[in-house]
Amino acid sequence: MNGVSTRVMPTSAGPVLGVLGGMGPAATADFLDKLAARTPAGRDQEHIATLVYSDPTTPDRSDAIVAAGADPLPALVHGVEFLSSAGVSAIAVPCNSAHYWFNDMQHAADVPILHIVDAVADKVRAWEGGVSRIGLMSTDGTARSGVYDRLVDHGYELMNLTDLGEDNPTTAGIRLVKAGSLERAQTVLVEAANMLVDRGAQAIVYGCTDISAVLGPAPPGVAVPVWDSATALADAAVDYIRNERHVGGTATRKVTHGAR
């Protein structure tokens, strides 16, 4: 971890969750809100200590995957090294497309990085509704990258709207979120969800945390089950940190499974 100063978290904080954010800022704020809401706590001291590294200047992940855009990996690795050296127990990255570089990020960290698609897969497997075809709402980069192949490996068929190119309402909705037009973004993203349902999707996964920031668990007019990757990651983070509290230790093992 050359070039990153070592900082020690106070031992009184217990296990600390590192959050690699800024991709985008609204998605990071939404994830922290979900983390607090999903933590069983009756007072401040029962919530999870977090250290957030938020860098909105990280190059666009989807552009890097599909359009030879600037490489975000140096920024991702720097953030992971910063959090790891600061003494966190695990790291959550509330950005789906960043998981294309999961192996590289994990290699740079001394603690586990919680994989957002594994968290989603846990939710889908736990549901007893008999879903086989899932509509993925994500950036084109995430859809084309293979990040969500984990769901395919579990026997689910994935659908998306990337064949629409510039007319893809999912892409348009994500851009509106990043521009701060949240009300308009919600309308466009509901349209995208219903387009997937019309194509045969039996459920929807929000495979972009910017979508999670504006659509709730039951978006108006969408009549199929919905799983939100940001909520799934928040639940996984709560489970991990609470388990660390119970065992009384700080995780040092590395996660070896990859995203590609």
Report how far residue 185's alpha carbon sits from residue 180's, in angstroms, rounded to the nearest whole number: 9
Annotated active-site residue 260? The verdict is no
Residue from 20, 90, 136, 208 carrying the catalytic annotation: 208
134 has which bridge partners?
Answer: 158, 203
Annotated active-site residue 95? The verdict is yes
Report how far residue 108's alpha carbon sits from residue 19's, in angstroms, rounded to the nearest whole number: 15
Residue from 17, 80, 95, 188 carrying the catalytic annotation: 95
Residue pair 98/141 in contact by the 8 Å Cβ criterion: no
Question: In 3D, which of 180, 168, 240, 236 has the Cα closest to residue 213?
Answer: 180
Rounded to 5 degrees, φ, ψ at 91 are -125, 135
Q: Catalogue the long-range contacts made by 222-228 (C-beta closer than 8 Å, 24 or more residues apart).
A: 222/190, 222/193, 222/194, 222/197, 223/197, 224/135, 224/197, 225/127, 225/129, 225/131, 226/193, 227/120, 227/123, 227/124, 227/127, 227/203
- Cite the active site residues: 95, 208
